Amino acid sequence: MKYSITAAIIGLSVALVSNLFSSDALAKSTIADDKFRQLEEVLPTPTIYRTASGAPGHKYWQQQVNYEINIKIDDKTQQLTGYETLNYQNNSPDTLRYIWLQLDQNKLKRNSDSKLSTAAKALKKVTYKSVRKMIETDKFDGGYHITKVTARNGKPLQFTINDTMLRIDLAKPLKSGDDVEFNVAWNYQLHEQKVLGGRSGYEYFKEDDNYLYEVASWFPRAVAYYDVTGWQNKQFLGRGEFALEFGDYDVKITVPSDHIVAATGVLQNPKKVLTKTQRKRYEQAKTAKKPLHIVTAEEALANEKSRATTSKTWHFKAENVRDFAFASSRKFIWDAQGYQHGDNFTMAMSFYPNEGNPMWEQYSTEAIIHTMEQYSKYTFAYPYPVSISVNGPVGGMEYPMITFNGPRPTLNKKTGEKTYSRKTKYFLIGVIIHEVGHNYFPMIVNSDERQWTWMDEGLNTFLQYVAEQAWEDDYPSRRGDAANITAYMKSSNQVPIMTNSESILQFGNNAYGKPATALNILRETVMGRELFDFAFKEYAQRWKFKRPTPADFFRTMEDASAVDLDWFFRGWFYTTDHVDIGLGNIHLYTVDSQNPDTEESWLRALENEKPTFISDILNKGNWIRTHDKPELLDFYNEHDQFTATNAARNKYNANMKKLQPWQKELLLNQSNFYLIDFNNIGGLVMPIILDITYADGSIEHMKLPAEIWRQNSKKASKLLIRDKEITAITIDKNWETADVNVNNNYWPARPIKSRFNLYKRKKEDMMRDYNKKLKVEKDKTKQQDKEGTEQQNTDS
Ligand SMILES: [Zn+2]
Looking at residue 32, what is its pLDDT?
54
pLDDT digits (tens, 9 = 90+) for 160-200: 999 999 999 999 999 999 999 999 999 999 999 999 999 99
CA–CA dist 42, 575 (Å, integer) = 13
The Å distance, Cα 289 to ligand 1 centre, comes to 29
Residue whose C-alpha is closest to residue 439's, from 320, 573, 289: 320
The Å distance, Cα 464 to ligand 1 centre, comes to 10
Q: Which residues surround ligand 1, an ion (CB under 5 A)?
A: 457
The Å distance, Cα 398 to ligand 1 centre, comes to 7
- 3-state secondary structure string across 228-295: CCEECCCCCCCCCCCCECEEEEEEEEEEECCCEEEECCEECCHHHHCCHHHHHHHHHHCCCCCCEEEE
The Å distance, Cα 446 to ligand 1 centre, comes to 14
Handedness of CA 54, 55, 61, 65 (dihedral sign): positive
Task: Give the C-alpha distances (Å, rounded to integers) separating 710 from 23, 684, 731.
Answer: 15, 12, 19
Q: Dihedral of the CA atoms 429, 448, 521, 495 (nearest 10)?
A: 110
The Å distance, Cα 437 to ligand 1 centre, comes to 8
In contact, 677 and 715? CB cutoff 8 Å = yes
Looking at residue 777, what is its pLDDT?
74
Residue whose C-alpha is closest to residue 548's, from 446, 444, 449: 446
Q: For 713-752, b where at least 16 C-beta lie within 10 A, e where not — what string?
A: bbbbbbebeeeeebeebbbbeeebbbbbbbebbbbeeeee
At residue 166, what are phi and psi to the nearest 5 degrees?
Answer: -125, 125
Element at 132 (helix H, strand E): helix 128-139
Element at 784 (helix H, strand E): helix 781-788
CA–CA dist 331, 210 (Å, integer) = 8
CA–CA dist 104, 397 (Å, integer) = 15
The Å distance, Cα 469 to ligand 1 centre, comes to 18
The Å distance, Cα 549 to ligand 1 centre, comes to 18
Burial class (CB in 10 A: 0-12, 13-18, 19+), 408: buried
The Å distance, Cα 376 to ligand 1 centre, comes to 18
Residue whose C-alpha is closest to residue 131's, from 144, 121, 145: 121
CA–CA dist 643, 492 (Å, integer) = 60
3-state secondary structure of 105: helix
The Å distance, Cα 572 to ligand 1 centre, comes to 20
Binning the chain into helix, strand and coil, the percentages to the nearest 5 are 35, 25, 40
3-state secondary structure of 794: coil
At residue 265, what are phi and psi to the nearest 5 degrees?
Answer: 100, -175
The Å distance, Cα 586 to ligand 1 centre, comes to 46
The Å distance, Cα 677 to ligand 1 centre, comes to 42
Residue whose C-alpha is closest to residue 735's, from 421, 524, 561: 524
pLDDT digits (tens, 9 = 90+) for 204-256: 999 999 999 999 999 999 999 999 999 999 999 999 999 999 999 999 999 99
3-state secondary structure of 209: coil
CA–CA dist 299, 258 (Å, integer) = 11
Residue whose C-alpha is closest to residue 485's, from 603, 410, 578: 578
pLDDT digits (tens, 9 = 90+) for 647-691: 999 999 999 999 999 999 999 999 999 999 999 999 999 999 999
Beta bridge partners of 586: 676
The Å distance, Cα 152 to ligand 1 centre, comes to 38
Element at 403 (helix H, strand E): strand 402-405
The Å distance, Cα 795 to ligand 1 centre, comes to 7
The Å distance, Cα 397 to ligand 1 centre, comes to 7
The Å distance, Cα 457 to ligand 1 centre, comes to 5
**How many CB atoms within 10 Å of residue 367?**
25
What are the residue ranges in the chain where pLDDT is below 70?
1-32, 778-796
Residue whose C-alpha is closest to residue 488's, from 466, 511, 471: 511
